[in-house]
């Protein structure tokens, strides 16, 4: 029976270092991932505790992958998978991605067999894997690419994973920590991002705790994620193949693979959204959203329209005061997230910094995390009117990879500091993984300036 979520549990964070956790027997074919269990470290002890819980209990476990933190459950047990939907408050008609440790595990699923890790014999490359996927698996696995496959008739996957569809989505994460956890469970893990439904995805263990404290028992902490946005989801079973969700592998990288030259977009990008009616201000899109209202500036707009941000900030402050009829002495808390073109304060004019601090974001790699710098700034020329409050200003970098790494952390940090509105400078869809960044931002925004 599923746990009663109205009674909070104690949520524990267990640190795990990725050093020396295991290896592929043959890195060329990714067939067998071996966990270094003889290593008697705390990391292995923590991994084993989490794996034990995943095998026997119904409470999902938070764990890092290279994209975002996942909320994992044994994909072969219905009760365990239901625990994910309950903990997240996620509608159950949305299918979940499963994660495998190695190709031998995927092979077992395609054969409709339970995974048996004592079966060490390497079988010939499975005939069950469609040809179209071989070049992309070779190029991007382990990594941020999810492929759709036909669910076999006699499947080991719980029906709650696929939400009634005839296909399932699967990936092999680049994180050795994630692969070792899966290997110790000896079953694929179903795992959506470990945020509460509608919130920005988590890229640190702390983010998971913020959302799910008291709702899950364990979070493995492997440090900040290295990519910062979710995997790219592709359907190679349709002809031509399509990208269902842009993510950590760009469409240009996919196009370079044999059979994928004509891959199509099955999601809405700037061009598609441009054909739609303009979005009404205040309309709330419940996805990847902080509590604050998000206003997104398309990169092309942010580039050419100096001064528009200060006008927008002034207008928001007027609305804010009018709605409160002078009853509030404090003005709104304003947050700014900058990428390529905007200077401090988004170019509202000269500013002074009143305080600065740092917060962890996704790192360049699991070890060398790069922090985000948050500045509290004040316009010095009265550009926003007298008595304007400090603005919270975060630069998440100029190149697309660093923007992807910092995005969710920056949204969450401004929320934590009580921002009422966040103005975000966008990036370009066709630059590397910019499509993934803009896809998430357009969903988080209640207003898009283009």
State the minimum distance, in angstroms, from the CB of residue 128 to ligand TXA.
17
List the one residue from 35, 97, 103, 172 that touches ligand TXA (CB under 6 A): 97
- The entry of ligand TXA, Mg ion, none near residue 109 (CB within 5 to 8 angstroms by kind) is none
State the minimum distance, in angstroms, from the CB of residue 97 to ligand TXA.
4
Q: Rounded to an integer, what distance in angstroms lies between the CA atom of residue 234 and that of residue 148? A: 7
Any bridge partners for residue 352, and if so which?
378
Single out the residue of 129, 156, 202 nearest to residue 361, CA to CA: 202
Residue with Cβ nearer ligand TXA (231 or 402): 231
State the minimum distance, in angstroms, from the CB of residue 244 to ligand TXA.
5
Q: Other C-beta atoms within 10 Å of 5: how many?
A: 15
Segment lying near ligand TXA (by CB under 6 A), choices 114-122, 189-197, 210-218, 265-273: 189-197
Residue with CB nearest Mg ion? Answer: 193
Q: Rounded to an integer, what distance in angstroms lies between the CA atom of residue 162 and that of residue 90? A: 14
State the minimum distance, in angstroms, from the CB of residue 350 to ligand TXA.
41
Q: What is the DSSP letter of 156?
A: -
Q: Is 165 in the site for ligand TXA (CB under 6 A)?
A: yes
Residue with Cβ nearer ligand TXA (230 or 432): 230
Burial zone of 254 (CB within 10 Å; 0-12 exposed, 13-18 middle, 19+ buried):
buried
Single out the residue of 354, 356, 352, 395 nearest to residue 375, CA to CA: 356
State the minimum distance, in angstroms, from the CB of residue 270 to ligand TXA.
20
Residue with Cβ nearer Mg ion (141 or 288): 288
Any bridge partners for residue 171, and if so which?
99
Q: In degrees rounded to 5, what are phi and psi of residue 416?
A: -60, -30
State the minimum distance, in angstroms, from the CB of residue 343 to ligand TXA.
33
- The entry of Mg ion, ligand TXA, none near residue 315 (CB within 5 to 8 angstroms by kind) is none
CA 277, 288, 332, 334 torsion-angle sign: negative
Question: Would you call the peptide bond into 142 cis, given omega within 30 degrees of 0 as the criterion?
Answer: yes
| β-strand pairing of 33-35 with 70-74 | unpaired
Round the CA-based radius of gyration of the chain to a whole number and report it: 23
Q: Is 244 in the site for ligand TXA (CB under 6 A)?
A: yes
Residue with Cβ nearer ligand TXA (266 or 388): 266
| β-strand pairing of 22-24 with 97-99 | unpaired
Segment lying near ligand TXA (by CB under 6 A), choices 186-194, 268-276, 284-292, 393-401: 186-194
Residues lying near Mg ion in the complex (CB under 5 A) are found at 193
Residues lying near ligand TXA in the complex (CB under 6 A) are found at 65, 67-68, 70, 94-97, 144, 146, 148, 162, 165, 167-169, 191-193, 230-231, 233, 244-245
């Amino acid at each position: 029976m599923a746990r009663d979520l109205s009674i909070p549990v104690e949520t524990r964070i267990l640190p795990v270092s990725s050093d020396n956790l295991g290896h592929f027997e043959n890195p060329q074919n990714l067939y067998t991932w071996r966990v270094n269990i003889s290593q008697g470290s705390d990391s292995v002890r923590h991994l084993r505790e989490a794996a034990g819980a995943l095998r026997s209990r119904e409470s999902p476990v938070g764990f890092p992958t290279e994209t975002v933190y996942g909320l994992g459950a044994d994909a072969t047990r219905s009760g365990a998978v239901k625990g994910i939907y309950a903990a997240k408050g996620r509608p159950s008609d949305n299918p979940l991605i499963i994660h495998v440790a190695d190709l031998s595990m995927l092979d077992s699923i395609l054969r409709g067999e339970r995974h048996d890790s004592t079966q060490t014999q390497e079988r010939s490359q499975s005939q069950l894997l469609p040809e179209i996927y071989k070049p992309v698996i070779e190029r991007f696995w382990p990594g941020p690419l999810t492929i759709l496959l036909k669910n076999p008739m006699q499947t080991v996957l719980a029906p709650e994973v696929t939400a009634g569809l005839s296909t399932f989505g699967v990936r092999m994460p680049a994180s050795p920590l994630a692969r070792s956890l899966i290997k110790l469970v000896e079953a694929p893990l179903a795992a959506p991002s470990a945020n509460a439904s509608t919130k920005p995805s988590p890229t640190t263990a702390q983010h998971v705790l913020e959302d799910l404290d008291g709702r899950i028992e364990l979070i493995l902490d492997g440090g900040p994620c290295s990519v910062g946005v979710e995997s790219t989801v592709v359907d190679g079973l349709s002809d031509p193949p399509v990208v269902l969700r842009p993510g950590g592998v760009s469409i240009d990288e996919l196009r370079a693979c044999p059979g994928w030259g004509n891959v199509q977009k099955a999601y809405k990008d700037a061009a598609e959204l441009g054909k739609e009616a303009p979005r009404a201000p205040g309309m709330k899109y419940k996805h990847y959203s902080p509590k604050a209202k998000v206003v997104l500036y398309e990169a092309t707009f942010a580039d050419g329209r100096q001064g528009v941000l200060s006008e927008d900030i002034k207008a928001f402050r007027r609305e804010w005061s009018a709605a409160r009829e002078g009853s509030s002495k404090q003005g709104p808390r304003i947050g700014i997230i900058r990428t390529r073109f905007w200077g401090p304060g988004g170019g509202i004019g000269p500013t002074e910094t009143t305080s600065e601090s740092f917060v962890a974001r996704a790192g360049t790699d699991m070890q060398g995390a790069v922090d985000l710098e948050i500045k509290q700034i004040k316009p010095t020329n009265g550009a926003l009117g007298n008595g304007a409050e400090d603005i919270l200003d975060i630069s998440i970098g100029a190149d697309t990879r660093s923007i992807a790494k910092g995005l969710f952390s920056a949204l969450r940090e401004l929320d934590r500091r009580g921002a009422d509105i966040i103005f975000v400078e966008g990036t370009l869809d066709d630059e590397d993984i910019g499509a993934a960044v803009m896809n998430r931002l357009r969903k988080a925004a209640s207003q898009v300036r283009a």
